[in-house]
C-alpha cells in the first residue's frame, strides 16, 4: 500500500456571529503568496453576508458594552495568549502573504501580540483618559463619560496583514464597539486565523465579524449601511476613499481616515469611535 496521500486543502471561511459559514453566494477565490504561488482558497463574501454580519454585530453590541471594562480586557488578553500559542502558524502566513523572511515575520507577529496586550490594558483606562468631571457653576456634578459609537465597519489594510488588522479591529472593540471587517483582499489568511482564535478566547459571538472578498464590491455596502455607526477606511486611499466618505456621510457615520502616524502607540484610533455623554447630578445636602 502506498504511503502517498493528498493534502487536505483548507478553504478559509467567513466569521459571522461566532460561526464559520461559507459565503451565501457559494463563491470563493484564490489567494496567492507574495511571489505569486497558490496559497489558499478563501470564501468570497457577498453583500448579503455583510448584512448578516452587521445584524450580528448590532445584536452583540449592547452585551459587549454592558460587560465590565475589566472583563473586556481579559477577553482581549486571552486572544493574545491564543496568538502566542499559535505564533508559528501566524508567522508562516505573514511571511507568505507579505514576502517576509521567517525572522521578520516572527518579529511582525511579536509586535501584533504586543498590540493585543496594549489594547487589553486600555479597556479600563478609556473612561479615565477620555472622560472626567467638569467644573460648573451651581450645586451640580457634571461628568463627561466616553461611550462607544456602536457598530464599526473596517476596511482592513491591504498591506499589513496582521499588525494593521490588530490595530484596526481592537481599537474600536476595546472601547466597547462591535466590528464588521472586510479583510485584506490579497492577504486575508493571517486575519482569518486570528478570527478563528476569537471563538476560543471568550469573545461573545458577533463582537468581531470577518468577511473576506473583493474590497471594491463590498466596501460601498458597508459605507451606505444605515445600521453602521462608523467606518475605518484603512484599506482604501485616494478617490476610492473619498467616494466612500461621501457615501458614509449620507447616513451620518463617523469616518476615520488613518495616516502614517496612527500606530498602536497613538490614541487617535482609540478616540475615533467614542462618543461623549454628559451627565448632570445634583449635589446632595
Distance CA 266, CA 279 (A): 28
What mean pLDDT do residues 271-277 have? 89
Extended beta strands in the chain, E state: 11-12, 28-32, 38-43, 132-133, 140-148, 151-155, 178-182, 208-211, 230-232, 254-256, 274-282
Residue 19 has pLDDT above 90, yes or no: yes
**Could you tell me if residue 97 is inside a domain?**
yes
Cα gap 37→32, rounded to integer Å:
5
The Cα 168–Cα 116 span in angstroms is: 11
Q: Tell whether the model's pLDDT for residue 7 goes beyond 80.
A: no
pLDDT value at position 245? Answer: 94
Split into its structural domains, the chain has a count of: 1
In a domain, 33, yes or no: no
191: its cell numbers: 486575519
Q: Say if 264 falls within a structural domain.
A: yes
What is the length of the chain? 285
- Residue 44 located in a structural domain: yes
Q: What CATH number does residue 131 fall under? A: 3.40.605.10
Count the neighbouring beta carbons within 10 Å of the beta carbon of residue 137.
5
In a domain, 156, yes or no: yes
pTM greater than 0.85: yes
pLDDT category at 227 given cuts 50, 70, 90 is: very high
In a domain, 191, yes or no: yes
| Sheet containing 11-12, strands listed edge to edge, beginning at the edge strand earlier in sequence | 11-12, 38-43, 28-32
Residue 210: pLDDT band with limits 50, 70, 90: very high
pLDDT in tens, 22-81: 999 999 999 999 889 999 999 999 999 999 999 999 999 999 999 999 999 999 999 999
Integer Cα distance of 235 and 181 in angstroms: 10
Query: Quick one: which H or E segment has residue 60?
Result: helix 47-66
- What range defines the domain where residue 207 resides? 12-25+40-282
Beta-carbon count within 10 A of 194 CB: 28
30, part of any domain = no
Residue 162 resides in a domain: yes
Is 9 a residue whose pLDDT tops 80? no
Amino acid at each position: 500500500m502506498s504511503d502517498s496521500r493528498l493534502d487536505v486543502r483548507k478553504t478559509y471561511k467567513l466569521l459571522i456571529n461566532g460561526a464559520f459559514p461559507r459565503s451565501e453566494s457559494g463563491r470563493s477565490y484564490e489567494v496567492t503568496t507574495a511571489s505569486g504561488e497558490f496559497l489558499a482558497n478563501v470564501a468570497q463574501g457577498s453583500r448579503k453576508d455583510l448584512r448578516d454580519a452587521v445584524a450580528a454585530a448590532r445584536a452583540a453590541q449592547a452585551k459587549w458594552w454592558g460587560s465590565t471594562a475589566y472583563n473586556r480586557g481579559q477577553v482581549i488578553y486571552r486572544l493574545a495568549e491564543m496568538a502566542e500559542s499559535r505564533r508559528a502558524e501566524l508567522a508562516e502566513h505573514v511571511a507568505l502573504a507579505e514576502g517576509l523572511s521567517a525572522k521578520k515575520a516572527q518579529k511582525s507577529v511579536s509586535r501584533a501580540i504586543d498590540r493585543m496586550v496594549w489594547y487589553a490594558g486600555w479597556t479600563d483606562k478609556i473612561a479615565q483618559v477620555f472622560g472626567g468631571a467638569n467644573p460648573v457653576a451651581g450645586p451640580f456634578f457634571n461628568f463627561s463619560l466616553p461611550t462607544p459609537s456602536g457598530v464599526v465597519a473596517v476596511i482592513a489594510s491591504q498591506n499589513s496583514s496582521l499588525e494593521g488588522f490588530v490595530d484596526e479591529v481592537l481599537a474600536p472593540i476595546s472601547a466597547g464597539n462591535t466590528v464588521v471587517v472586510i479583510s485584506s483582499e490579497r492577504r486575508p489568511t493571517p486575519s482569518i486565523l486570528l478570527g478563528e482564535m476569537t471563538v476560543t478566547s471568550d469573545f461573545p459571538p458577533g463582537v468581531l465579524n470577518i468577511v473576506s472578498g473583493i474590497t471594491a464590491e463590498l466596501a460601498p455596502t458597508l459605507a451606505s449601511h444605515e445600521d453602521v455607526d462608523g467606518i475605518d477606511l484603512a484599506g482604501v486611499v485616494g478617490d476610492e476613499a473619498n467616494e466612500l466618505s461621501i457615501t458614509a456621510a449620507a447616513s451620518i457615520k463617523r469616518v476615520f481616515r488613518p495616516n502614517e502616524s496612527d500606530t498602536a502607540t497613538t490614541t487617535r484610533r482609540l478616540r475615533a469611535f467614542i462618543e461623549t455623554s454628559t451627565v448632570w447630578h445634583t449635589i446632595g445636602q
